[in-house]
Structure 1
Amino acid sequence: MYATKCNIPYEELKKDAYSFLEEMEQKTVNQDNHFTEEDIEDALRAYKESYITFPRKDIERITGLSIPANKRNYQKQVYHLEEIRAIRDIRCRREGRDWRQGNGRKEKKDVVFEWRVKNQLGTKAQCIRDTKLDKKTVYKWREYAGNKIRNLGRYEKYSDIPLSHKKYIYRQMQDRYIFDDMTEEEKKDMRRIDFIHEILKLLDMRSYKIAKGIYWSRQRKKKAVLEKISKKT
């Protein structure tokens, strides 16, 4: 979850997680509860965008780890960041390296593209506000992002999508909302809506609103059929 919050690449997270395998296994007390690669893979399932807003206090409760809130020594953010950057520059000069190398910063066109993927109906003004990019930059890459999104669709119709692919997506949905504060019925609804949304994306229809509409329309029809059967019986 924190790797997602901090924009750490999945491969880097996976490498770090596996590096703890031996250390964690050495902590084993109960011989029926060894720490294995399967435990690591289970943990890696939390690397999802839906967990990016998962509260710090809840993570502390689940893991039993203390995660203190970030402090700025009672300074305004601008002064705090000024000191942090100064320390960074001093260390880099001492080590003879450039902090910009390998920091994983995304190109601005990719930032615009990712925002558009998540906000199909969003406006230019919203994109500028959310990404903090310059107006000219957003306008420059908006059409590029739109064209790239349109080229992502791989299937013409639902029946073209392989059953194995549908099953894979469905299994992926089961890991969502595990820790969210919702009833099991609400979680089930959200997972099914997400499944429809992922299928729609394969059909080049990238709208969560449409996915929700399809799901609730089906639920209403299903309810009507059940009520009809109930009356007959």
Structure 2
Amino acid sequence: DLERISGIAIPKNKRNYRKQALHLRMARSNLEILSEDAGHALQGRPKGSGEKRELIRSYAREHPDANHSDIAKALGVSRSTVIKWLRGWRCDTDGLPDGAWYEDGHIHVDMTEPEIKAGE
């Protein structure tokens, strides 16, 4: 239908009449051989990616008043990397008062009053 509507020819995927499972096994084995020949992985995330998480979170623990931009400048990483690793992160086990968490570059504290039960 897309071919007819757009007028652009879309050729079928060519697997030489092989089933998808067999075709993918062959493609993956070729990729493995090429990766071995190149001496490094040809696909996937680069080595060292994801190592900034603990660096950013430890800096955020030590500098609770720092915002995303301050953390990014201090550590030499992009602001989007800081946002990525601090999104939804709670550091209430790191010396923050009960009910406090780190989010959006700031420490947030639950300010609701605790319920007082009758007789207390």
Q: Whose helix proportion is higher, 1 or 2?
A: 1
TM-score (norm 2): 0.36
TM-score (norm 1): 0.20
Q: Whose strand proportion is higher, 1 or 2?
A: 2
Question: Which of structures 1 and 2 has the bigger CA Rg?
Answer: 2
Pick 1 or 2: higher relative contact order, CA cutoff 8 A, min separation 6.
2
